[in-house]
Structure 1
């Protein structure tokens, strides 16, 4: 049998060790990333911009709104409904409002620019004009006033994680919003102190659709408005209540 020199043995061992290290690194990278980047490393500004572009084209959806704490001049504490804006804004659903000091459950219909609700007398609808005294649902899908505008104007966006919302994978992004955008969307008039740099967090679908799945804004200390969206593209029909 041919005897190997000590130098040859050392050389072969070094080559084998190097191969193992390289193989290990390759396997580790594949397992960790699978060829795609983590949401935490994504471009927050680009993601928000794409979400704003998509939101501006959404013609209908389901929305659930909840209010935690106390938000000035906002009567609604919970809303669950459907809204579409083609050919005109139409919405139907239920809402809980604070009347005096008591929560009151009601139904609402938005059609022909007017919000009708039975909050004052269950089963009997009254005309509340544009609905601003309750909640102006027409702002949501308005590209110039609603969710699309808020996304377009979101300041200092930063990816802070990822989360499943109702089975949809999302990228969670934090930022701040202006007083005008928050006042329009939340329907709350803010004091100059509260209006500065309103904390805003958005959850944007990471499945390639860039749908806005959830948004949380804190217009005042100890007051939070949360909206969760689904059924994008839904067409809603309604008739004026008798």
Structure 2
């Protein structure tokens, strides 16, 4: 009987120690405040001078001629900066693969055949103006600063980068500066870096069932050189 009491006491003491140790372990991470994350991300975008970007359109969105773009951007090289890359445009129901170069005050566009065609940058929005992405008055920073009711939903990984997912809504007029032709206000989600500056990794704007636009940003502030095509 005495031995049993000793064993019971030792077991009770052991459980108490374990319970005490468990209470000192950190609880699940508390998600940061949505508005503060969005404010920090908008500020961080001000330090972005170059980046690799991608735009992907899912579903049939009337009025939106861009189906996909990928390339490199820089604020250097002229009043509109510079950009180069490839894309897919919807022209009268036909999908056309293009190459583009934005250098100085001219957008150079090349289809599947032929040479580059010159388009004055003032008219480039009829196709797509890539300089909008980093423009604080038209691009990602503007969308961030205009986001309504931002709410932090989760911590996730996007392309291997830990990020906070923040959701909200954005007005058509604001989003239309970045992606011309959007049909309405949109639900929007931003994935912001969880470590270091809260730079956006990805954004998804949703307009209806099966209708969305993804914008991705990477290789921030890596050197980008853009020259007019020869």
Q: What TM-score does the superposition give when structure 2 sets the normalisation length?
A: 0.86
- The answer for the alignment partner of 1:22 in structure 2 is 20
Alignment of 1:42-57 (within 5 A): 42-57=32-47
Pick the aligned partner of 2:171 from 178, 182, 189. Answer: 178
Establish whether residue 238 from structure 1 lines up as the match of residue 230 from structure 2.
Answer: no
Question: Conserved in 2, the CA contact under 8 Å of 1:74 and 1:134?
Answer: no
- The answer for the alignment partner of 2:118 in structure 1 is 127
Alignment of 1:181-192 (within 5 A): 181-188=174-181, 190=183
Question: Conserved in 1, the CA contact under 8 Å of 2:65 and 2:181?
Answer: no
Q: How far did 1:16 drift?
A: 6.5
Q: CA deviation digits over 1:6-36, x for unaligned, max 9?
A: 9xxx99997766444322322xx24x55xxx
Establish whether residue 148 from structure 1 lines up as the match of residue 141 from structure 2.
Answer: yes
Q: CA deviation digits over 1:121-149, x for unaligned, max 9?
A: 62411123332122111111111211111
Structure number with greater Rg is 1
- The answer for the alignment partner of 1:90 in structure 2 is 82
Cα distance in 2 for partners of 1:18, 1:96 equals 65
Q: How far did 1:223 drift?
A: 2.1
Q: How far did 1:57 drift?
A: 1.8
Q: In the superposition, relative to structure 1, how do residues 124 and 16 fare at CA in structure 2: closer, same or farther (>3 Å)?
A: closer
Q: How far did 1:154 drift?
A: 1.0
Q: What TM-score does the superposition give when structure 1 sets the normalisation length?
A: 0.82
Q: CA deviation digits over 1:211-235, x for unaligned, max 9?
A: 1100111245542110111010133
Partner SS, residue 209 of structure 1: coil
User: Matched residue pairs, number?
Assistant: 224
Q: In the superposition, relative to structure 1, how do residues 19 and 70 fare at CA in structure 2: closer, same or farther (>3 Å)?
A: same
